[in-house]
Amino acid sequence: MYALGHLGLVLLAFAPIARHLRRTNRTPLAAAGTIQVAALSTIPDADLLLASVSHRGVTHTVWFALAVGSGLATLAALRALRRPPAPGRRRWTAGLASGLIGAFAVLAHLVGDVITPMGITPLAPVVDAHYSLAVVNAADPSANNALFALGVLATTSTWIAGRVRVPRARPTPRTVLAWLARIDRRPWRTPTTHRDDRTAGQSTRGALDENAPR
C-alpha cells in the first residue's frame, strides 16, 4: 500500500484500542498512542531511502517491529528516569506503552503489505516463507483512499462516542458494615419503633391503674 493507505490502516487497527483506553479513563494514553501510530505508519518504507536495503526486506519483518518497539521503550524509560514519577504510576509504564504501540504500528504496516500481490517475508532470515494474499494492488488509488477514509472514520467515532467510564469501587467488609448500619437508621423503621413505644406505654398505664388503691 501507499502512505495514505498505510495511515488509514494503522488508524483503523488502533481505533478499538483507543476506545478501550478512553473508556477506562486513560484518554491521554489514547491520544498519545493515536499520534504515535500515525507517525510510525510508514516507518518500514524507510528502506526506499536506503540504496543498500531492498524494499520489503529487513524493515518488513517482525524483527524490525521488535527493534522499533525496544528502541522506543528504551527512550521513553530513559526520559522517565529524569522526571519524578507521577502519583500512582511506575516509571516503566510509559516505556512499556510506547514500545508496545511502536511495535503495533509496524505490524499494522506489514498487514497492509501482505494483502498486496508483492507480499512480504515477515520472518526472514529465520524462515524464508513468503506470504501474499493478493487482495488489492499497492498502487490502487481506490483501495488506498478507502482505507484512509475508514481509518479517519474509526478514529473520529472513537473520540466522539468513546465516553469515560468511571470504575466502580469494589465492596469491602467495612463498606458492607457501614451500609448495614445505615439501613438500621432509615426513616421507614421509625413508625414501627414509635408504635411499639406507644403500645408499651399503654400497657404500663393499664398495669398502674389496676394496682392503684380503690
How far is 201 from 152, CA to CA, in rounded Å?
77
Please indicate, yes or no, whether residues 147 and 190 belong to a single structural domain of this protein. no
Please indicate, yes or no, whether residues 202 and 131 belong to a single structural domain of this protein. no
Categorize the per-residue pLDDT at 38 as very low, low, confident or very high, splitting at 50, 70 and 90. very high
Q: Residue 1 carries which side chain, given as an amino acid letter?
A: M
The answer to whether position 167 is within a domain reads no
Total-model pTM: 0.73
The answer to whether position 195 is within a domain reads yes
* C-alpha cell belonging to residue 125: 532470515
Neighbours of 56 (CB within 10 A): 24
The 10s digit of each residue's pLDDT in 131-165 is 999 999 999 999 999 999 999 999 999 988 755 55
Domain residue limits at 106:
3-161
Q: Which of 24-28, 69-73, 163-167 has the lowest mean pLDDT?
A: 163-167
Predicted pLDDT of residue 57: 94
Q: Check whether 60 has a pLDDT greater than 80.
A: yes
Q: Check whether 207 has a pLDDT greater than 70.
A: no
Please indicate, yes or no, whether residues 156 and 177 belong to a single structural domain of this protein. no
The 10s digit of each residue's pLDDT in 91-128 is 678 789 999 999 999 999 999 999 999 999 999 999 99
DSSP for 97-155, written as a single string: HHHHHHHHHHHHHHHHHHTSSS-B-TTTTT----B----S-TT-HHHHHHHHHHHHHHH
Predicted pLDDT of residue 210: 52
Mean pLDDT of the chain: 83
Instruction: Return all residues near 85 (Cβ < 8 A) that are at least 6 apart.
Output: 91
Instruction: Return all residues near 146 (Cβ < 8 A) that are at least 6 apart.
Output: 8
Q: Residue 143 carries which side chain, given as an amino acid letter?
A: A
How far is 139 from 162, CA to CA, in rounded Å?
34
Please indicate, yes or no, whether residues 128 and 76 belong to a single structural domain of this protein. yes
Q: Check whether 189 has a pLDDT greater than 70.
A: no
Give a three-class secondary structure readout of 25-72: CCHHHHHHHHHHHHHCCCHHHHHHHCCCCCCCCHHHCHHHHHHHHHHH
Categorize the per-residue pLDDT at 168 as very low, low, confident or very high, splitting at 50, 70 and 90. low
Q: Kind and range of the H or E element at 181?
A: helix 173-184
| Count of structural domains, the chain | 2
The answer to whether position 148 is within a domain reads yes
